[in-house]
Amino acid sequence: MGKFIIKTRKDGQFQFTLKAVNGQVILTSEAYKAKDSCLAGVESVKKNAAEDKRFEVLTAKNGKPYFNLKAANGQVVGTSQMYASMATLKNGIASVKNNAPQAEIIDETE
């Protein structure tokens, strides 16, 4: 089962990462001013990960593909790493779909 890790950034804001069973980061959130907002972001990922239409595939300036996971309102709730190919990106999306819904939440802010 995957894990959501919630941390406090150096600037005092909160951020979560979703890690796969192997420990690899598969999704990273934006910065949140409040911990409750960060936790709401985690719940949004859990809810939206099941829907293909919530994944937006993009290409970075260096030509590498990556994806955003969006909430129903269109807001980005998580961004992937850069991938070497579309095949590995598709594996990344599958990993988010498999790991996010049942992932435990680990709060490392305290």
Could you state, in chain order, the average pLDDT of each consecutive group of 10 residues for the chain (110 residues)? 95 96 94 96 96 96 97 95 96 96 93
- Total number of residues shown for the chain: 110
Per DSSP, 54 falls in state G
Q: What is the pLDDT of residue 1?
A: 82
Its domain, for residue 70, covers 3-107
Query: Residue 17 maps to which CATH number?
Result: 2.30.29.80
pLDDT score at 108: 96
Phi, psi of 88 (to 5 degrees): -70, -30
How many domains is the chain built from? 1
Helix (H) or strand (E) holding 78: strand 76-79
- Helical segments of 1-110, H only: 35-48, 86-99
Predicted structure pTM score: 0.93
